[in-house]
Amino acid sequence: MFAIPDVLAHKDRIERPTTMKFLFENGAHVNLTNADKSEIESYSKDILKGNRILRTAELKFATGETIIFTYEHSVLASITITAGKKEAIVPKTTIDKIKDICFNTIALLWDGREQKAFSSSYFYIQFNVGKSALFNSYPYIELFFEKGGFSRAKISTAKRWSDL
């Protein structure tokens, strides 16, 4: 006979932004909440089409984290995630490869045993990219952080966002 060890399986916690604040090149700004899902999708499509030129997108989560996307001349310049005094930054070499963010798909994920992202040994930001779906699916990017710092990025088309 053999013993089967106890294994504690867990799932990643998935948080979506509770508020989004977009600041555009023309000085206009908009604040959106979870209740505005169709409006968030509409603004995201306008940004992707170039109808609205984004300067900054600030996404706040109920658990206290904030992700800030900064643009310079319509090009993504930085991605920063903060929680209180803690901060993690995506390196410029990775930022330069990211195009066409679908803001309505952004999620923050981490070890479900922890209450907050920065308390976990890892967390990551996930979002779809692209102006149109390929074979009914958008590619998605995952930006991984370990021990509070950026560790790696991954792009995939292996699953659709709706499968999360």
Question: For 64-100, what is each residue's pLDDT tens digit?
Answer: 999 999 999 999 999 999 999 999 999 999 999 999 9
Query: Across-strand partners of 108?
Result: 15, 125
In sequence order, which residues have a C-beta less than 8 Å from that of residue 160 and are 6 or more positions away? 136, 137, 138
DSSP alpha helix (H) spans, the chain: 37-49, 92-95
- What are the structure tokens assigned to 99, written together? 């195009």
Q: Could you give the dihedral angle defined by the CA atoms of residues 34, 39, 45 and 48, in that order, rounded to the nearest 10 degrees?
A: -60
Q: How far is CA 110 from the centre of its chain?
A: 12
Question: CA-CA distance, 122 to 126, in Å (whole number)?
Answer: 13
Whole-structure pTM over 0.85, yes or no?
yes
Place of tokens 């959106």: 32
pLDDT digits (tens, 9 = 90+) for 93-147: 999 999 999 999 999 999 988 889 999 999 999 999 988 777 777 889 999 999 8
Query: Across-strand partners of 123?
Result: 110, 145
Domain boundaries, the chain: 12-163
Return the closest-CA partner of residue 98 out of 64, 67, 63: 67
